[in-house]
């Protein structure tokens, strides 16, 4: 294993490749733990930032023209179904599972 290797997270039929270290996981967990449960805007901002900061690419995802997405762009996030966004964020938060278990290390 090399430091900085991408981790893949499978959500339905899409594989998201994330650059997500243990330090990133701890920082995200701390931010999530400090959120006010009633501040929906802050929660949405945290979800968007976490996904857009760490997703590098996706397999099994096509843009509006039917072209497979290779490099992640923030504008893709608003086009994803809410359930996929929620599950991807939950995988990022679930440190034990995101760093090992359901997610596996990708070679590139």
pLDDT digits (tens, 9 = 90+) for 41-100: 999 999 999 999 999 999 999 988 999 988 999 999 999 999 999 999 999 888 544 454
CA distance 17 to 95: 15
For 71-84, write each residue's pLDDT tens digit.
999 999 999 999 99
Alpha carbons 19 and 76: distance in angstroms, whole number: 17
Pick the more confident residue, 26 or 72.
Answer: 72
The Cα–Cα gap between 38 and 81 comes to: 22
Domain boundaries in the chain?
7-105
């Amino acid at each position: 294993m090399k430091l900085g290797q991408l981790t893949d997270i499978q959500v339905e039929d899409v594989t998201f490749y994330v650059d997500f270290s243990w330090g990133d996981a701890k920082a995200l967990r701390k931010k999530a733990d400090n959120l006010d449960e009633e501040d929906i805007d802050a929660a949405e901002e945290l979800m968007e930032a976490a996904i857009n900061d760490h997703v590098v690419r996706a397999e099994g995802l096509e843009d509006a023209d039917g072209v497979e997405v290779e490099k992640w762009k923030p504008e893709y996030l608003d086009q994803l179904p809410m359930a996929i966004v929620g599950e991807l964020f939950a995988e990022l938060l679930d440190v034990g599972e995101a760093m090992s278990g359901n997610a596996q290390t990708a070679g590139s």
